Amino acid sequence: MDRIRIRGGKPLSGTIPIGGAKNAALPLMTAALLSEEPLTLRHVPVLADITTLSHLLVQHGAAVTMVGARTPHEHGHALKIDARNIISTTAPYDLVRRMRASVLVLGPLLARCGEARVSLPGGCAIGTRPVDLHIKGLEALGAKIELKQGYIHAQAPPGLKGAQFIFPKVSVGATENLLMAASLAEGETVLVNAAREPEIVDLAICLNAMGAKITGAGSDRITITGVKKLHGAEHDIIPDRIEAGTFVLAAAISQGDVMVSDCQPEHIAALTVKMQRAGAEVDETQAGALRVRCTGRPKAIDMTTEEYPGFATDLQAQYMAWMTVAHGITFVTETIFENRFMHALELARMGATIRIEGRQAIVAGEDQLMGAQVQASDLRASASLVLAALVAKGETTIDRVYHMDRGYERIEEKLAAVGANIQRITTQTTVHAGAEA
Ligand code: UD1
């Protein structure tokens, strides 16, 4: 099991390029199941989650191949997914439990094959994360669904039928599943109170390139006119807004001067507005790039996570890390997931003062964090520990880095390239990357 070792205290300086979005890539990969013709996706990040989903697609009968050569320092790659033959409509527990996004094969398989059997994903570290909205939405499109022995059995032998579905609660995953399923349903589907995340817009753009008829993606009302078949397409995945936000915060917490390039600044406006209020300079100095400068500790600025365009739950832990060294007290409220403060305990091991009261974390800013041995509990929690380590005095070792490898491509290389003293240590204590200063 790899660990990351960081010696804090170095202001970051230079440029960090952002890769393709994991949370856009995963639904886009499952969209390939909707067509007999291949879908080619560019800027797919090289991450454990992408590999897990590739295994699942292969298991359904798709051929997943990397397109073009990739140099050792290139980030991302192009994937061609050819789902001409679907040989199985079952997504087994063994693969689904490893990654919740696997449930996104449900809509495409059901729409294309008239049936799907997908394992229930089960709980996960950041909360119960049910799939009832995915199920209710597909039932509204005419699917017959039963839950048996831990599996969702969905059937629609005569095909899905367009309908109106009002989401009682905004759900990114359920909106994605319904968008894909409705693309091949008969007639018109209207999704009301749909999620508005950029990843939804990206999925709709790709589906339209495959021949779907979708309007309104990016608003809370999406209209889909079903078509009989979708064809192949090529699609460029949007930049990862969570990776961008993480590095923008890394620049600020290290009190550095960094250009975060190849991103879409408007996707993280909720974060950058807060950061400006907290005292960081964040400017879009050129299209698709943010220059971040910060001197000294930030001012405490409260934050509440919300659906897009609000503050992303996936940036809550990293923002909290910055606020642990703020002047004053910060109230961080998590409204999306009920158990997403596990990083607080580990941050406390580094000297942070955080009290959890239900869905609120109260952070009393400290002058200085101290390096410590800490443990990652989930993907974004691990990123928050990296950020804290960048500003902490002395050495921090982060265990269970495999959580971070699910969502950040070569994070240690990107941070080392802007001057961080960071190394990955394997069990054989082999150094993979990083500048030892
Ligand atoms: C969520 C985030 C997304 C993030 C992803 C990975 C939101 C709105 N969504 O997406 O930005 O990238 O996690 O961390 O911020 N829910 C139900 N029933 C369902 C589905 C969801 O009750 O069938 C609830 C969830 O428990 C949660 C909320 O709805 O409280 C939003 O969940 P959803 O958007 O579906 O989660 P993800 O798609 O995983």
Residue 206 CA to ligand 1 centre (angstroms): 22
DSSP 265: G
Closest C-alpha to ligand 1, atom 25: 129
Q: For residues 283 and 291, is the Cβ–Cβ distance under 8 A?
A: yes
Q: Which atom of ligand 1 is found nearest the CA of 131? A: 23
* Number of C-beta neighbours around residue 431 at 10 A: 12
Catalytic residue among 113, 124, 206, 263: 124
Would you put residue 429 in left (φ > 0), alpha (ψ -120 to 50) or beta? left
Name residue 154's beta-bridge partners: 116, 145
Contacts of 389 (CB under 8 A, 6+ apart): 4, 6, 8, 350, 371, 396, 398
Q: Is the dihedral of CA 421, 324, 123, 399 positive or negative?
A: positive
Q: What per-residue confidence (pLDDT) applies to 1?
A: 81
Mean pLDDT throughout 47-73? Answer: 88
Contacts of 158 (CB under 8 A, 6+ apart): 114, 142
Mean pLDDT throughout 384-398? Answer: 97
DSSP letter string over 376-410?
A: --SHHHHHHHHHHHHHSBSEEEEE-THHHHTT-TT
Lookup result for tokens 């059997």: 117
Mean pLDDT throughout 245-260? Answer: 98
CA distance 44 to 51: 11
Question: Could you tell me how far CA 336 lies from the centroid of its own chain?
Answer: 14
pLDDT band at 435 (very low <50, low <70, confident <90, very high): very low
Closest C-alpha to ligand 1, atom 39: 173
Range with the poorest average pLDDT among 118-127, 258-267, 352-361: 118-127
Q: Which of 96, 172, 316 to mutate to test the pocket of ligand 1 (most atoms within 8 A of CB)?
A: 172
Q: What per-residue confidence (pLDDT) applies to 427?
A: 75
pLDDT of 352 above 50: yes
Closest C-alpha to ligand 1, atom 9: 172
Q: How far is CA 290 from CA 326, 337, 353, in A?
A: 22, 29, 30
Q: Which of 262, 238, 196 is nearest to 25 (CA)?
A: 238
Residue 119 CA to ligand 1 centre (angstroms): 18
The sheet carrying 151-155 orders its strands as: 90-91, 115-119, 151-155, 144-148
Active site residue 124: yes
Closest C-alpha to ligand 1, atom 31: 171
CA distance 303 to 308: 14
Q: Which atom of ligand 1 is found nearest the CA of 197? A: 11
Q: Is the dihedral of CA 330, 336, 339, 343 positive or negative?
A: negative
Q: Which of 123, 125, 132, 134 is nearest to 30 (CA)?
A: 134
Lookup result for tokens 């909290």: 320
Q: For residues 376 and 6, is the Cβ–Cβ distance under 8 A?
A: no
Q: For residues 392 and 369, is the Cβ–Cβ distance under 8 A?
A: yes
Mean pLDDT throughout 150-159? Answer: 94
Residue 373 CA to ligand 1 centre (angstroms): 31
Helix axes 342-349, 379-391, angle to 10 degrees: 20
Q: Which of 134, 171, 240 to mutate to test the pocket of ligand 1 (most atoms within 8 A of CB)?
A: 171
- E strands present in 97-247: 115-119, 144-148, 151-155, 164-166, 188-192, 213-215, 221-225, 233-236
Q: What per-residue confidence (pLDDT) applies to 68?
A: 76
pLDDT band at 91 (very low <50, low <70, confident <90, very high): very high
Q: For residues 145 and 138, is the Cβ–Cβ distance under 8 A?
A: yes
Mean pLDDT throughout 143-169? Answer: 95
Q: How far is CA 247 from CA 271, 290, 393, 434, in A?
A: 12, 10, 20, 16
Question: Could you tell me how far CA 62 lies from the centroid of its own chain?
Answer: 24
Q: For residues 383 and 318, is the Cβ–Cβ distance under 8 A?
A: yes
Closest C-alpha to ligand 1, atom 14: 314
pLDDT of 432 above 60: no
Q: What per-residue confidence (pLDDT) applies to 428?
A: 63
pLDDT tens-digit profile of 377-388?
889 999 999 999
Q: What per-residue confidence (pLDDT) applies to 437?
A: 30
CA distance 390 to 265: 23
Residue 180 CA to ligand 1 centre (angstroms): 17
The rounded mean pLDDT for the chain is 94
User: Of how many residues is the chain composed?
Assistant: 437
Residue 44 CA to ligand 1 centre (angstroms): 22
Q: For residues 241 and 218, is the Cβ–Cβ distance under 8 A?
A: no
Q: What per-residue confidence (pLDDT) applies to 434?
A: 42
CA distance 223 to 326: 45
Closest C-alpha to ligand 1, atom 3: 172
Q: Which of 126, 308, 336 to mutate to test the pocket of ligand 1 (most atoms within 8 A of CB)?
A: 336
pLDDT tens-digit profile of 287-309?
999 999 999 999 999 999 999 99
Lookup result for tokens 């799907």: 116
Lookup result for tokens 């000294």: 296
Residue 61 CA to ligand 1 centre (angstroms): 28
Q: What per-residue confidence (pLDDT) applies to 71?
A: 62
Residues with C-beta less than 6 Å from any ligand 1 atom: 23, 127, 129-134, 169-174, 197, 307, 312-314, 336-337
pLDDT tens-digit profile of 179-231?
999 999 999 999 999 999 999 999 999 999 999 999 999 999 999 999 999 99
Q: What per-residue confidence (pLDDT) applies to 433?
A: 47
